Amino acid sequence: MEVKQKKNEVSEEAKEKISERLSNVENLWFPRAQQSTATLPSQRKSIFHSLLTRDPSLFLERYGSNLTSTELTEFETLKEDYEINWHLTRLRSVLTPTTEELRRKAVVAKNRRRAYLDRLIVGGVYFSEEAMREREAYLHYEYVGKFQDRFGRRMARPGERWSDTLLRRCEEAVIVAKIRGEQERIGVPRSEWIGNEGLQEEEEEEEEEEEEEEEDDDDVEKDETVEQIHVPQPDVSDNGTSDPARMRHDVTNNGTSDPARARQDPTLSSEELEDRMNQFTYIMQQKFLLGEDHEHVDYTKIDNDETLDDHWQREANIDAEERYFADD
């Protein structure tokens, strides 16, 4: 005698197909009591089939997100059950969301990212200057790095082990290489690359020497055309300060003959440097909110973390309390 299919039940054929497919999907969750008997595909298939027959609502709760839209239609015969209908509606909204559902989901994700941002700010690590510099070396250099003492980063720090100093210097070399690579990519003159300050000073010094030689040649030509007049010579013991070329060189360098000291990077006051640091930090925070830090954080995990909604519930409660007392 042929066994008839129950009216409000998933067909046996559908159970077989769904159980067979899911049995070959890795890393699906199983209750602790079943984990030891769910190592083989045949064992997993038996578990899925049994649960589909015994409690389809619980099956949808556990594994519904792994079903296709076609497989979900197999549960239509059970949609009169409130729980099953609720699961089907939720799962279909994920597979084929409406425009309103997409908008609402985007708002939820945005709020959760902002809540996570506040958590990172309080943590004090992710948005510390060193961490941000490591993630965006060139952006940091343009905003604040070029105004800081670059060589101070290579100095040993009080109480620091020598091995840690060497490791930090290696990390600094990697960051400098990143900055140089970006400078080369956007076409910054080689003399302006980070670490090439001495090269630019040498070029400037060579230009000055060429100009001085040209001026000396002009002076010699003029002297040959006029009558020589005897002028008492100053004492040569003045360490050569009567040399015109040397004097012009000293004036050009603001009274110092050290070309390295003659060229100084633009300096900023502590207030100006702090303002630029705040701008840099704001940009880095916006990059995080826009999803541009995908190499450093898992946005899927953040966007689906329902515990982050508690942050906005607390904020709403605080705002309500403030409005209540303000009305009084």
User: 215 lies in a domain?
Assistant: no
Sign, Cα dihedral of 54, 58, 63, 67: positive
pLDDT mean by block of 10 residues, the chain; 328 residues: 57 95 93 90 94 95 94 92 94 88 91 96 95 93 86 74 80 84 86 70 64 64 52 47 43 41 62 95 97 95 92 66 60
- Asked whether 10 and 56 are in contact (CB, 8 A), the reply is yes
Phi-psi sector, 159: left (phi>0), alpha (psi -120 to 50), beta? left
**Is residue 34 a part of any domain in this protein?**
yes
CB 178 within 8 A of CB 195: no
22-54 core/surface letters (b: 16 or more CB in 10 A; e: else)? bbeeeeeebeeeeeeebeeeeebbebbbebbee
Main-chain phi, psi angles of 94, to 5 degrees: -80, -40
Residue 166 lies in a domain: no
Token pair belonging to 265 = 């990077």
- What is the separation of C-alpha 118 from the centre of its chain, rounded to a whole number of angstroms? 16
Within-domain flag for 205:
no
Tell me if 137 is assigned to some domain. no
CB 289 within 8 A of CB 114: yes
CA 47 to chain CA mean position, Å: 43
DSSP 3-state of 159: coil
Angle of helix 56-63 relative to helix 41-54, nearest 10 degrees? 130
Asked whether residue 7 is domain-assigned, the answer is: no
Is there a domain that residue 71 lies in? yes
Question: How many domains would you assign to the chain?
Answer: 1
The answer to whether residue 250 is domain-embedded is no
What domain range includes position 91?
12-96
